[in-house]
Amino acid sequence: MPTKAPQDHKSPAKKNKKIAPHDPSEMFVYDAPHSGVTVTLPYTENLPSGAIRRAQKNAGDNEMAFYFAILEELLEDDFEDTVDPLLQREIAEMIKRWEGESATELGESSAS
């Protein structure tokens, strides 16, 4: 069975996104309304390709495993303290906003 490429994990609704790429020093910030956690991540267009490759390799076809793997890669030692308290609906909203406010979705090239 073929494995999914990172771009296969993106939602189909955002095909014609026209957002200018963020400077690599700019960060996406999500303040979880229920758990009180703040998550700070690079915008998706500024993620190292190696992080996406490793997350894809570790997650296989499981979309949620892919997102957890990329978050673990980015947050490193802060992963459990940051992600574990989040409610499922907060994680879903955070991922939606993170990709929506970024110039590219995970695995998509900026020329797309």
7 pLDDT more than 80? no
Q: What is the mean pLDDT of residues 40-54?
A: 95
- Cα(80)–Cα(110) distance, integer angstroms: 30
- Cα(22)–Cα(102) distance, integer angstroms: 7
106, 10 in Cβ contact below 8 A?
A: yes
Estimate to the nearest angstrom the gap between the alpha carbon of 74 and the chain centroid: 9
- Cα–Cα nearest to 67, from 44, 45, 46, 85: 44
51, 74 in Cβ contact below 8 A?
A: yes
pLDDT at 109: 47
pLDDT-above-70 percentage for the chain = 79
Q: What is the mean pLDDT of residues 48-54?
A: 94
